[in-house]
Structure formats: C-alpha cells, structure tokens
C-alpha cells in the first residue's frame, strides 16, 4: 500500500458496545492499521511522561501496570484476550504478559512474539522526545511493516482517556461507538474487568476519592501512579467485583457518555462520526460505508465493504427479560446518558 499516511483515527467508546467488532472489521481493510486494545491496558503510565526516552517507553509497553496485574493475576481472562496463554510453548503467562501482547500484536499477526522482539530495539533506541512522537514513531513503524496508510486505535472504555488522547493527537478524527446503555451495562456485568473497575471506583468513594474526575482531564496527576499502586495492592479484586450491581454499571456507563458529551462536544463536525451500534446491526453496509468515507474518501474499497457488511447481525435486547423492578432501576441509572444520546426511556 503506497501513499502518504492519513490523519489518525481514535475509536472511542464506553466498552461492551460493539467497538471490538468495528476494530475487527477495520483489520480486514488493506489500508488500515487496526490497533486494538493498545492504550487502556497500558494504564496511566501511557500518559505520565512528557518527554520520555525509548527505554522508558518500552517498559510501558512491556510491563504490566498495577491495575492490569491485579486484574490478571487471579486467572480471570476476558474474551478479548488474543494471546494464547495456555498454548504449548507460550512465552508468557497471565502474571507477566506484556500489555501490548494481550490483544494489540496478536490482532495484527499470528506471530506476536516475533513482532514483539522486532519492536524492542526499535522502540528502545528512540531518543528522548515528546510523548506523542513516540506513539507516532511506533504506529508509523507498524504501518510501514504491514503496508498500511492510516492507523485507528480502539480500546474498550476509551472514553475514560478521550481528553488525554485528543491532547496527544489533536489532528485525529474520532469515531464514537455507542449502544443503549441498558444493554451495555448487562454486557459489562458479564465482563470481569468492568466489574473490577466499577467495584474499585465504589471502594474509592468510601475514602472520599472520585476517580472518575480524572476522565475529563487531559493529563495524569503526578500522584496517580502511586495511588494506583497502593490501591491495587490492598484491594480484594474478587470482593470488589462481586459487590457491583447492574445499576452501578448503568451509572458508570452514563458517566462515560457524559464525559464524551463534554470532551467530544468540542470537536468540529467534520472530525466526529457517531456510530450507533443498533444502526450497524440494522444497516451494516450503509453504516460502514459512511464510516470509511469519514475516515478518508480514498479508503473506499468495494471488496472490503462487501465482506465487512456481511458480518454484523441483528441481536435482540436482553433488557426486556429483566424483572420490572430491575428494569426501572437500570433505566434510572442510565437516564442521563440515554437522554444525551436520544434513546427512549
């Protein structure tokens, strides 16, 4: 694939709303470098340094953050994980799996360990330079390696990072993927990492802390990594996960949607594409065509569109199966976000 690199794309969402499917479909496009689950697994260290050198960046990519380590050490592996932890000869286990080996590299190649080894000297050899330049260098290297002209990063729950990502990549176009919050919360309830995250937020509030206040800040507070290290060294992961209700998850979803309203509302219309998951299910060809044109008209590809639009399938909402009292509680928790997105209540 030849031609200059196109402006990057950030696919932002609450998670559990179809963004993984979007990432998988883009991975089939011959010109798109689909970076799946790159930033969120890195944790706050992804934004901590203003002018790091290559050695520090490689440690960020290769070593688990306290939060990630806490989520993985008890053996709970989420369905997005692509690295074959239990395969014969696998180099890594859950306790020492590098963050970029969880999903990002296996998403690009069936030889992720070889790619990891190939990237190590390239990243480590970079000089001290602004943080965004490190990411551009890595993504540019991967784009050249796979012959792609544009990169698109998607991580589940990335609306938590929207302000920080847009500070680093002010030229980026944004695809905001969203779904009815009630169905999203029900999906979060089946996902270990989201239960741990929301449980940890609830536990923090008992100490007068409000972790979600950081979601609209474009920089990581200097003390944040220390707080995370201390918090996750004392938290009982299984207990905090078990104390989370559907209403808690609905309120968390709504909070992220309102973060998106605040942060993404500052973008001009030509840099924001709202992708409603229900539209992708109902009219996949039209939705994917509009999405790829938004990314750049030169990316239109009839063969890709034919293949990609055959993947999404309509799915029935599970919300109607809840008892009436649980429906009412979940709808109330989701109400601000539902209203902001135009969903009926």
pLDDT digits (tens, 9 = 90+) for 203-259: 889 888 899 999 999 999 877 766 676 667 777 888 888 999 999 999 999 999 999
Provide the 8-state DSSP code for 218.
S
Sequence-separated (6 or more) residues with CB below 8 Å from residue 270: none
- The whole-number average pLDDT for the span 282-289 is 98
d(CA 266, CA 274): 14
Q: In this structure, how many other beta carbons lie within 10 angstroms of the beta carbon of residue 37?
A: 27
Average pLDDT of the segment spanning 273-296: 98
- Buried b or exposed e, range 257-282, using 16+ CB within 10 angstroms: bbbbeebbeeeeeebbbebbbbebbe
Q: Looking at 126-218, list the stretches that DSSP marks H as alpha helix, in order from N- to C-terminal side.
A: 131-146, 162-168, 181-188, 192-205
Q: In which order are the strands placed within the sheet that holds 272-276? A: 32-36, 150-154, 9-13, 173-178, 272-276
E-strand stretches of the chain: 9-13, 32-36, 150-154, 173-178, 272-276
Is the pLDDT at 77 greater than 70? The verdict is no
- Give dist(CA 71, CA 113) in Å, integer: 22
> Cα(270)–Cα(252) distance, rounded to whole angstroms?
28
Residue 198, pLDDT score: 95
Let me know: does 53 contact 130? Beta carbons within 8 Å.
no
Which CATH number applies to 9-316+328-341? Answer: 3.40.50
Cβ-Cβ contacts under 8 Å for 32 (sequence gap 6 or more): 26, 148, 149, 150, 151, 152, 295, 299
Q: What is the mean pLDDT of the chain?
A: 94
Q: What Rg, from alpha-carbon coordinates, does the chain have?
A: 20
Burial of 154: CB neighbours in 10 Å, binned 0-12, 13-18, 19+:
buried
Residue 232's pLDDT is what? Answer: 73
Instruction: Please determine, for residue 333, whether its predicted confidence score (pLDDT) is greater than 60.
Output: yes
Phi and psi at 178, nearest 5°, equal -145, 165
Asked if the model's pLDDT at residue 109 lies above 60, the reply is yes
CB 206 within 8 A of CB 40: no
Overall average pLDDT of the 196-203 stretch: 92
226: how many CB neighbours lie within 10 A of its CB? Answer: 11
pLDDT reading at 312 higher than 60:
yes
If you search the block for the tokens 């972790």, which residue do you land on? 211
How many other C-beta atoms can be found within 10 angstroms of the C-beta atom of residue 293? 13
Pairing of strands 32-36, 272-276: unpaired
Contacts by residues 228-231 (CB-CB < 8 Å, ≥ 24 positions apart):
228/43, 228/44, 228/65, 228/66, 228/67, 229/66, 231/66, 231/200, 231/204
pLDDT confidence band for 271 (50 / 70 / 90):
very high
pLDDT of residue 229: 67
Residue appearing with tokens 């239109």: 300
Q: What sign results for the dihedral spanned by CA atoms 255, 256, 257, 262?
A: positive
pLDDT of the residue at 74: 65
| 315 — pLDDT class (breaks 50, 70, 90) | confident
């Amino acid at each position: 694939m030849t031609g200059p690199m196109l402006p990057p794309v950030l696919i932002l969402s609450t998670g559990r709303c179809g963004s993984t499917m979007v990432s998988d479909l883009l991975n089939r496009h011959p010109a798109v470098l689909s970076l799946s689950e790159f930033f969120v697994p890195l944790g706050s260290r992804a934004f901590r340094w203003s002018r790091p050198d290559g050695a520090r960046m490689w440690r960020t990519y290769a070593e688990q953050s306290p939060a990630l380590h806490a989520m993985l050490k008890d053996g709970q592996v989420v369905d997005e994980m692509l690295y074959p932890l239990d395969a014969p000869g696998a180099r890594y286990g859950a306790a020492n799996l590098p963050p970029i080996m969880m999903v990002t590299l296996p998403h690009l190649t069936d030889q992720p360990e070889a790619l990891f080894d190939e990237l190590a000297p390239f990243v480590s050899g970079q000089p001290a330079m602004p943080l965004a330049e490190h990411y551009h260098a890595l993504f540019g290297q991967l784009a050249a390696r796979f012959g792609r002209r544009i990169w698109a990063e998607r991580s589940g729950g990335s609306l938590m990072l929207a302000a920080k990502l847009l500070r680093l990549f002010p030229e980026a176009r944004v695809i905001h993927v969203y779904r009815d919050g009630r169905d999203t919360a029900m999906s979060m309830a089946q996902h270990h990492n989201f239960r741990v995250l929301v449980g940890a937020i609830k536990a923090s509030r008992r100490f007068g802390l409000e972790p979600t206040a950081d979601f609209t800040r474009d920089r990581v507070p200097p003390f944040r990594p220390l707080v995370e290290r201390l918090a996750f060294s004392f938290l009982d992961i299984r207990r905090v996960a078990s104390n989370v209700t559907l209403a808690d998850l609905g309120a968390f979803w709504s909070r992220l949607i309102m973060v998106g309203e605040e942060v993404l509302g500052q973008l001009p219309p030509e840099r924001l594409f709202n992708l409603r998951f229900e539209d992708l299910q109902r009219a996949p060809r039209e939705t994917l065509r509009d999405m790829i044109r938004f990314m750049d008209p030169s990316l239109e590809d009839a063969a890709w569109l034919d293949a990609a639009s055959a993947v999404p399938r309509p799915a029935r909402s599970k919300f109607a199966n809840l008892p009436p009292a649980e429906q009412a509680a979940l709808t109330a928790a989701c109400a601000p976000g539902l209203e902001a997105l135009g969903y009926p209540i």
